[in-house]
Amino acid sequence: MTGHGVAVAALRLRAQLLSGQAESTVAGVTGRLLAVQAQDPLGARLAIRARSRGLLAADVDQALTQARSHVVSWLCRGTLHLVAAEDYWWLHPLTTPQMRTGTARRLAQEGVPPSDAERGVAVIEASLAADGPLTRAQLGSRVARAGVRTEGQALVHLLALATLRGLIVRGPVHAEGQAFVLVRDWLGPPPPALDRDMALGMLARRYLAGHGPATDADLAKWAGVTLGDARRGLAAISSALADREDGLASLTGPADDHPVPPLRLLGAFDPLLLGWASREMFLAPGGPVITINGLFRPFVLVRGKGTTVWRIARGNVVLGETGPLDTAEQAALAAEIADIKRFLSQPASAQPW
């Protein structure tokens, strides 16, 4: 990597809260990153850990369950993301309409005609209104009893359809997993809708805060919006952008040092590998981190580069082959292992919602 590439990587690591000052709350992390990929529940919690100090996995569960300050929903790129409740309201209408055609197509492929899809969504809404929160399994049983197909991926796409319509989100955490809730019941009435150009500007500003420097194509890829919309968003905040010779967009701010951390342990689907159009700055092509079926495994970041994978086995952190580590890297590894054990030391909430 060139000297310029190293400087950009360091800035992005700082924006990602992987170097410099860590946050002390779940809201602090999501406030910076905007949305944390969350189809892997443990991976989402480990993403919060890597960017904070002193939190426990149970604090993420508390934010989802008791505080109702965060939800998980299909948002950017049609993928589950953990977001602050206040950001859900404007991200949902901005990033989900483009997913509706694909969801309808997938339902048809799963053997669910439009009339059955409507009936399934109605059952989901009525069930949650009467007895929610309910888990995926509980909702699946009710939908199936109504004569709507739930086999294969049919139920997933029925839940996605209800989500895209703004009816439901994933909210409280229970021993059996995260439950679905009605948006209107869980989050209350929506705030006034944002003008689309204002929302695109907010998207651009918030994206750059957690991912800059970046390009318009990076923003479009991460958010799942068109390149034209990404450019409209950046144009809306042009007065807040730094003057850079490399053409990358970043917010104006102090030009302090951004040292690359010696070593970090990052979880599955960590935002560092999903924030730009290319991940080659932090992860060389090939290798064990991304499987052939598209799973992003937990990985070891050494001096800003993904080197190998790691896993938790019987409460212990087990690493793949890292190669020789210098003294600073060994110390950072020991600290990371200890912190992961601390972070996971308190079990997830098993209280009734």
Domain ranges across the chain: 97-165
Per-residue pLDDT of 101-128, as tens digits, reads 999 999 999 999 999 999 999 999 999 9
Mean pLDDT of all residues belonging to the chain: 94
Q: CA 186 from chain center: how many Å?
A: 20
Per-residue pLDDT of 132-160, as tens digits, reads 999 999 999 999 999 999 999 999 999 99
Q: Which residues contact 175 (CB under 8 A, 6 or more apart)?
A: 348, 349, 350
* Start-end of H helices in 16-99: 26-33, 41-50, 57-65, 85-95
Per-residue pLDDT of 185-229, as tens digits, reads 999 999 999 999 999 999 999 999 999 999 999 999 999 999 999
Per-residue pLDDT of 242-276, as tens digits, reads 999 999 999 998 766 678 999 999 999 999 999 99
Peptide bond preceding 97 in cis form (omega within 30 of 0): no
Taking each helix axis as running N to C, give the angle between helix 100-109 and helix 114-131, from 0 to 180 degrees, rounded to the nearest 10.
Answer: 110
Query: Do residues 179 and 133 lie in contact, with contact meaning Cβ atoms separated by under 8 Å?
Result: yes
Which tokens in the block code for residue 247?
């053409």
> What is the pLDDT, as a whole number, of residue 332?
98
Query: Do residues 212 and 11 lie in contact, with contact meaning Cβ atoms separated by under 8 Å?
Result: yes
- How far is the first Cα of the chain from the last one, in angstroms, to the nearest whole number? 50
Residue 350 has pLDDT above 50, yes or no: no
* Helix/strand/coil for 116: helix
In this structure, of 77-81, 175-179, 273-277, the range with the lowest mean pLDDT score is: 175-179
More confident residue, 191 or 176: 191
d(CA 35, CA 38): 9
Residue 302 has pLDDT above 80, yes or no: yes
Mean pLDDT, range 179-188, rounded to an integer: 97
Q: Which residues contact 288 (CB under 8 A, 6 or more apart)?
A: 297, 308, 309, 320
